[in-house]
Each structure stands twice: as C-alpha cells, then as structure tokens.
C-alpha cells in the first residue's frame, strides 16, 4: 500500500547526540537518513560536522494513528455545518503532523440511517475520493490510509462497502455495533445525554430513536457482520472489533479472524482478547482523563494489568504522544510507552516499513523532550522531509 506519495522525500539528513527510542530501550546515539530511508545508526554522544545536535532530545519513530475522529470534526465543525472538504482535509493533515503523527488511518463511518429522527447520511465514499485525490496531487504532509467503521446497526452498510475496492487504501475495517443497551452504551443514560446534546431530541424522540435502532439491529445485524468480514478480506484490510464487553463477544471476534480490538469496555473483555492473541487498543483521552467518558473501563487500569497494547488519539490528536509518554513514565520504560503508538500499531496493521528506528525503514521521525511530564515536540519528519 505505501508508495512515494506518502509525503515528500529529502536527500540526506543526520541527527546526533539524540536519545534514540529503540524497540526495547533508549540509548544516546546518532541516525542518518538518505532519500527518505534510515541508512545508518549507532550509539555515542559525538556530533559529526553537518549533523543536527539534538542535545539529548528523544528521537523516535513518527506516531501511527489507527483510529481518529479528527477528520469528521474538521468537515463538520458544528452540527449541520458542512465545511469545504479539501480545506478540511488539508487542515486535518497539518494538525496531525504538528502532533507527531506521520501515519494515519482516517476513520470514516460506512452504514447510514436515512430514515427516522436519528437519521444520518452517507458520506464516506465521496470524502475518501477527495482524500485520495489530494494525496495523488501531493498536497498532504503525512501518510494516509482509510479506516472504514462498519456500523452494523444501520440500513445501508452493504451498499456503502461495495463502493470501495483494493485501490482505495482501505487498511482497516472495524465492526461497530452501537445498539443501545450493550457495548459502549450499556448505560442508556450516557447515550441519552450524548444524543440529546448533539441532536436536540425530545424525550419522546429519544425513545423512538432507541426503538428504531434496536429494530435495525434485529433485522440487519447478522448480515451486516458477515458482509463486513467478507468485504475486509476483499480490500486486503485488517479486521477489528469495537467495544467488546464480554468474553463471549471476544470469542465471536476471534472466530472472525480479528486480531485487533478497539476500546474493549471491561477488564473481562480485555483479558479475553489477550487470551485469543488479539491486541487491545484504548483511547489516549481515556488515559489522560483517568477514565472513559462513557463510563467504561479506564485505560490506566488495563495498563496496570498488562492488558494495553496500542493507544489511539481517538478525538484529541495531541493526546497521542502525551499518553505514550505518560505510559512510559508509569511503566518506568519510555521505549515500551512509545511502542504503543509506533511499533505496536504498525505490527497490528501489517506495516513493516515503519514504526521502529532501524536501517531500511522509512525515516518517519519525531524529536521531542519532556518537561513537567509534558512532551515538547521539536520537529517531525515524514520520509525524511520536515513537516512540523
């Protein structure tokens, strides 16, 4: 999937006197880049002529973001406000680069509800085409893939998935089920608070909305799960689960061949994921805030139990590096913390050309230092070209 349009390429670049964040440790050393690829690295604090003296700053792989709602926030900055998409995509791309993210799987919902009070429209195909056109025109700073969020509680999932193919860079398909009363919204009051504030529903309209969603799940759920599994294979994409809550749900995920779980809502589900060799991804905002906004399990609790593998920025791009540093400090192992946003996500989606500092890998890099437990970015490079 990756190619030369994943950011620009610089010819030669050298860093020295840096704290290199390696897969299993940190070490003071140097790194040399040629034509967008790491061609040499080693240990030592010397600074050869022409090299950038990092002064002991961390030098790490660029962040890899598997699940972000940030693009949707840019194209609809207020409910009902449709922002010009090209400008929104470019702004989204620049924002991610500014936070250290050099690879992103842009989350787009597929599966719409065109009827009822709680209806929402189809948008993924047209937005994806605009994204790919901008990428082809070399207007984006970082590497973009698609993450299709397949909503089984919907009316049009099969038709929307059929509009995509292997040429669309679909790297991830997650099976989502937002039927009220289970998974993310076991607590209906949390859903009520969210929906009423976002869509302005009355009590009666909310009750009608809940009934409609449950009817859709009963009518379409099984077929939509099956088509999601089938279409992910057609795209050559990794298949993920979403909001697993029970061991039984995880067993179903494992039966589908899923190896990545987004945001399990309980310790039971997270433990079951590990028992089935399914990597667990949690949201950085959950970790930073100390808990889930939906009232589900805290990411910090999973980290303490050794059940957290990957971190996603979810809805706050700047939270990704902050969460990784916080994990590094909590675990007493900065390499392990940074791996949750670099090496682990790369492995989860089969990107073997990035995610670690190693000769032959893409020169997707970030330089930062930590002050008062807060990471301060000093530079970000995509394939050796500075983008922030």
pLDDT tens, residue order, the chain (388 aa): 555 556 566 679 999 999 999 999 999 999 999 999 999 999 999 999 999 999 999 999 999 999 999 999 999 998 889 999 999 999 999 999 999 999 999 999 999 887 765 567 899 999 999 999 999 999 999 999 999 999 988 889 999 999 999 999 999 999 998 666 555 566 566 665 566 555 666 767 767 667 777 777 777 778 999 999 999 999 999 999 999 999 999 999 999 999 999 999 999 999 999 999 999 999 999 999 998 876 789 999 999 999 999 999 999 999 999 999 999 999 999 999 999 999 999 999 999 999 999 999 999 999 999 999 999 999 999 999 999 9
Does residue 194 share a domain with residue 159? yes
Does residue 387 share a domain with residue 281? no
Does residue 68 share a domain with residue 18? no
Does residue 281 share a domain with residue 162? yes
> What pLDDT digit, counting tens, does each position of 82-131 carry?
999 999 999 999 999 999 999 999 999 999 887 765 567 899 999 999 99
Does residue 106 share a domain with residue 54? no
Tokens matching residue 271 = 């433990």
In which domain, by residue range, is 189 found? 63-353
Tokens matching residue 59 = 């030098």
The beta-strand segments (E) located in the chain are 12-21, 26-34, 37-43, 52-53, 58-61, 63-68, 101-110, 143-151, 170-176, 238-242, 260-262, 279-283, 310-312, 365-371, 374-382, 385-386
Does residue 267 share a domain with residue 164? yes
For β-strands 365-371 and 374-382, DSSP reports them as antiparallel
Yes or no: say if 383 and 363 are a contact pair by the CB < 8 Å rule.
yes
pTM value is: 0.90
Q: How far apart are CA 186 and CA 179, in angstroms?
A: 9
Query: CATH no. for residue 133?
Result: 3.20.20.140
Number of domains in the chain: 2
Does residue 101 share a domain with residue 25? no
Does residue 331 share a domain with residue 202? yes
Q: How far apart are CA 190 and CA 373, in angstroms?
A: 32
Does residue 117 share a domain with residue 21? no
Does residue 14 share a domain with residue 134? no
Does residue 54 share a domain with residue 67? no
Query: CATH no. for residue 36?
Result: 2.30.40.10
Does residue 127 share a domain with residue 12? no
């Amino acid at each position: 999937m990756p190619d030369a349009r994943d950011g620009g390429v610089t010819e030669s670049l050298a860093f020295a006197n840096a704290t290199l964040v390696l897969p299993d440790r940190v070490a003071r050393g140097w790194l040399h880049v040629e034509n967008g690829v790491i061609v040499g690295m080693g240990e030592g604090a010397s600074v050869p002529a022409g090299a950038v003296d990092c002064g002991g700053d961390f030098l790490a792989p660029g962040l890899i973001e598997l699940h972000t709602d940030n693009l949707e926030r840019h194209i609809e900055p207020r409910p009902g406000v449709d922002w010009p998409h090209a400008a929104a995509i470019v702004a989204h791309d620049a924002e991610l680069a500014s936070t250290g993210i050099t690879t992103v799987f842009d989350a787009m919902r597929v599966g719409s509800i065109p009827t009822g009070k709680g209806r929402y429209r189809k948008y993924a195909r047209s937005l994806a085409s605009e994204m790919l056109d901008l990428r082809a025109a070399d207007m984006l700073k970082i590497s973009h893939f698609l993450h299709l969020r397949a909503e089984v509680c919907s009316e049009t999932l099969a038709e929307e998935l059929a509009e995509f193919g292997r040429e669309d860079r679909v790297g991830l398909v997650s099976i989502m089920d937002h039927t009220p009363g289970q998974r993310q919204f076991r607590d209906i009051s949390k859903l009520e608070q969210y929906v009423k504030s976002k869509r302005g529903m009355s009590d009666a309209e909310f009750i009608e909305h809940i009934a409609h969603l449950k009817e859709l799940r009963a009518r379409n759920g099984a077929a939509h799960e099956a088509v999601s599994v089938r279409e992910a294979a057609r795209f050559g994409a990794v298949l993920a689960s979403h909001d697993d809550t029970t061991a039984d749900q995880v067993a179903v995920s494992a039966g589908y061949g899923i190896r990545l779980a987004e945001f399990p809502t309980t310790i039971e589900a997270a433990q079951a994921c590990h028992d089935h060799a399914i990597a667990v991804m949690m949201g950085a905002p959950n970790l930073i805030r100390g808990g889930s906004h939906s009232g589900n399990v805290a990411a910090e609790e999973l980290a303490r139990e050794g059940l957290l593998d990957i971190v996603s920025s979810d809805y706050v791009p700047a939270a990704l590096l902050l969460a990784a540093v916080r994990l590094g400090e909590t675990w007493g192992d900065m390499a392990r913390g940074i791996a949750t946003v670099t090496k682990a996500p790369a492995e989860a989606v089969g990107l073997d050309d990035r995610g670690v500092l190693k000769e032959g890998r893409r020169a997707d890099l970030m330089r930062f230092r930590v002050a008062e437990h807060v990471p301060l970015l000093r530079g970000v490079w995509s394939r050796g070209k500075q983008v922030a």
